[in-house]
């Protein structure tokens, strides 16, 4: 099988390349290191590109997903995993036009290229929980000592959550537009698209920056004895975390038996949910360092609590499960930082 991965040197893209090359597939990897332009040297994904070449012999092509050359790369592919994006909702407030151009026009270029050059290919799109905006706050919540919690009987955010009449930030809007285009290309043109609305993703190849990939960023700040800023909610905001390796395995299940136009919420779920305060305690137990931190105002459109209800996906693909728990995830990140891989 021939697999095209956009954003191949990013977190999810790297692990997608790794998974499918180990399975024996042919990989076409595309990444123009836009993260470095957006986030500076901390977002530089060239080390991941170099590792893909060194470890797996995969050459990462320096191609922008908006370029006219993308359809040529799509031709002959059986599976397209579209990870490339402007990935930060705080950053989108500063660059809304660039955000929309990358996330909407770039995705439309992928879809149209697939329709014209590889109409039988499966297309997997990395959407986001930000498409729901602040509608997720309509679920009943109570406050505890270290975190906010859903009230009894609430299993998390599912796919029936409304996406309109709410604050998204420009990032949430651009990803929602791309999300809807992926659904539309399935219904109108018959493309085998799968839309994955993702919660917090991390893993061994994450790059540590404040505006995105907070887990390795927290570890890096702690190891350097640098002051950390906590944005709003007294540090009690909760996220569910999924390791990119678990996510890519879910992609493989979908690719083997696609349901065109299907939308899935995917994340670590309740068992992998953690507040910022709780994550700091966990990191301190690993490093032996106390955090130096200050509180800052809440970010626009930030969620108080988001835990994924992924029952829809496990109903359709019952063989999939979350394999990496919180301690294993944070231990792997810490080990990468010790080696200088994430926190240089």
CATH of the domain at 208: 3.40.50.720
pLDDT given for residue 134 in this prediction: 95
Q: Say how far residue 158 (Cα) sits from the centre of its chain.
A: 17
Indicate whether 42 belongs to any domain. yes
Q: How far is CA 239 from CA 6, 54, 273, 312, in A?
A: 26, 34, 5, 19
Indicate whether 65 belongs to any domain. yes
Burial class (CB in 10 A: 0-12, 13-18, 19+), 146: middle
Residue 101 is classified by DSSP as: I
Helix (H), strand (E) at residue 252 = helix 244-256
Report how far residue 290's alpha carbon sits from residue 8's, in angstroms, rounded to the nearest whole number. Answer: 35
Burial class (CB in 10 A: 0-12, 13-18, 19+), 121: buried
Domain span at 62: 2-338
pLDDT given for residue 344 in this prediction: 47
Indicate whether 33 belongs to any domain. yes
pLDDT given for residue 343 in this prediction: 55
pLDDT given for residue 36 in this prediction: 84
* pTM: predicted TM-score of the whole model, two decimal places: 0.95
Indicate whether 344 belongs to any domain. no
Query: Per the structure, how many domains does the chain have?
Result: 1
Nearest to 264 by CA among 179, 153, 344, 165: 179
Q: 3-class DSSP state for residue 54?
A: helix
pLDDT given for residue 294 in this prediction: 97
C-beta of residue 177 within 8 angstroms of C-beta of residue 245? no
Indicate whether 25 belongs to any domain. yes
Indicate whether 67 belongs to any domain. yes
Indicate whether 270 belongs to any domain. yes
pLDDT in tens, the chain (344 residues): 999 999 999 999 999 999 999 999 999 999 999 888 888 877 789 999 999 999 999 999 999 999 999 999 999 999 999 999 998 888 899 999 999 999 999 999 999 999 999 999 999 999 999 999 999 999 999 999 999 999 999 999 999 999 999 999 999 999 999 999 999 999 999 999 999 999 999 998 887 778 778 999 999 999 999 999 999 999 999 999 999 999 999 999 999 999 999 999 999 999 999 999 999 999 999 999 999 999 999 988 899 999 999 999 999 999 999 999 999 999 999 998 888 765 54
Indicate whether 343 belongs to any domain. no
């Amino acid at each position: 099988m021939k697999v095209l991965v956009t954003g191949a040197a990013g977190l999810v893209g790297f692990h997608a390349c790794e998974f499918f090359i180990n399975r024996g597939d042919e990989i076409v990897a595309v990444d123009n290191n836009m993260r470095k332009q957006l986030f500076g040297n901390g977002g530089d994904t060239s080390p991941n590109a170099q590792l893909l070449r060194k470890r797996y012999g995969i050459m990462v092509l320096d191609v922008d997903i908006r370029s006219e050359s993308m359809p040529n790369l799509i031709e002959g592919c059986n599976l397209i995993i579209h990870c490339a994006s402007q990935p930060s909702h705080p950053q989108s407030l500063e660059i809304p036009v660039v955000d929309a151009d990358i996330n909407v026009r770039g995705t439309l270029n992928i879809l149209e290229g697939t329709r014209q050059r590889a109409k039988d290919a499966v297309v997997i799109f990395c959407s986001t929980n930000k498409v729901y905006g602040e509608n997720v706050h309509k679920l009943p919540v109570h406050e505890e000592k270290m975190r906010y919690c859903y009230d009894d009987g609430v299993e998390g955010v599912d796919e029936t959550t409304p996406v309109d009449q709410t604050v998204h930030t420009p990032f949430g809007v651009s990803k929602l537009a791309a999300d809807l285009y992926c659904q539309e290309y399935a219904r109108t043109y018959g493309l085998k698209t799968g839309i994955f609305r993702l919660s917090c993703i991390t893993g061994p190849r994450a790059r540590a920056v404040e505006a995105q990939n907070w887990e390795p960023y927290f570890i890096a700040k702690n190891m350097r004895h640098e002051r950390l800023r906590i944005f709003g909610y007294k540090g009690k905001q909760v996220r569910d975390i999924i390791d990119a390796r678990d996510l890519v395995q879910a992609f493989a299940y979908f690719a083997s038996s696609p349901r065109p136009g299907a939308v899935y919420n995917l994340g670590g779920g309740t068992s992998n949910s953690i507040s910022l305060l709780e994550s700091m305690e966990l990191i301190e137990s690993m490093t032996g360092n106390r955090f130096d931190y200050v509180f800052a105002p809440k970010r626009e459109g930030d969620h108080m609590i988001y835990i994924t209800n992924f029952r829809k996906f496990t109903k359709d693909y019952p063989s999939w499960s979350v394999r990496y728990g919180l301690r294993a995830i944070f231990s792997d990140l810490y080990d990468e930082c010790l080696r200088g891989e994430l926190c240089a």
